[in-house]
Amino acid sequence: MRVGRWAAVSFVGALGLAGAAWQTGFAKEAAAAVARSGQADWMTAKGYLPKDALDGVALLGPPPTTQSLTGQADQAHFEETRSLAGSPRWTLAARDADLRAGVVQRFSCAVGARIGADTPRLTKLLVKLQYDVRDTGDPPKNHYARPRPLVGNDKPICVKRESWMISNASYPSGHSMIGWSWAMVLSEIAPDRAETLMENGRDFGESRAICGVHYESDVEAGRLLASAMVAREHADPAFKADLAAAKLELARARKGPAPEACEVYSAK
């Protein structure tokens, strides 16, 4: 069984990688906090949900065919967004593509607080959501095996072309699931920031289509599956306990230093 590429790089160890131009000090603090939570092994670590909690294959149904109106719109969107190459929005899509760097900064900026060492329960919650994305999103991705839009052409994409992009399927988008689930949960924790958070969740997923590594319908499918996943999370006692603790942590963190370099997320 193929493992989703988006599930192969963990928010856990990845935040500690140095050298990314946009990585800031609080990202390194977050990496340390996550490591202390004991959630460092991406492929064996568990989320809140059992792996069969949701049937993503049945919930989503198959992706649109190339001949369908939606499939034609997907292709047209891919063609149209190639013109964004080199633009600020293209650069932001490349940043969003790397789960090793920008995701925590984006959502720290959106919620108005540094997510990291001072928010260990919140950090743990967000990490475990990623594990649930892995377990919920991989089955439909592998079952439907939709080729990515970059396959069979040499048109520009916002990241380096690699061989895994040929074999790893497109539907649904795991990045979209991560962004949407984080936005939903953080909106519940900080409802006064809900509009900004949901905009960032939308934009984070949209970056995948702009980048050229997913179709627009892959991104939409990711949002649908993430919504069902987050709804299911609320039946889990451990999730609810972490959610309650995260609310207290975030309230304190929002009184501390503001996140850095947030202006980059205004790119359109």
Q: Name the catalytic one among 96, 132, 138, 218.
A: 218
Buried-state track 161-185, b at ≥16 Cβ within 10 A, e below 16: eeeebeebbbbbbbbbbbbbbbbbb
- 214 as an active site residue: the answer is yes
Q: Name the catalytic one among 100, 114, 146, 208.
A: 208
Helix (H, G, I), strand (E, B) or coil at 143: helix
Q: Name the catalytic one among 95, 100, 175, 223.
A: 175
- 77 as an active site residue: the answer is no
Q: How many CA atoms lie within 13 A of 210 on its CB side?
A: 24
Q: Name the catalytic one among 100, 134, 214, 223.
A: 214
DSSP character string of 4-45: PGGGSS-HHHHTT----TT--HHHHHHHHHHHHTT---TTT-
Cα angle vertex 180, ends 6, 52, to 5°?
65
- 208 as an active site residue: the answer is yes
Catalytic residues: 175, 208, 214, 218
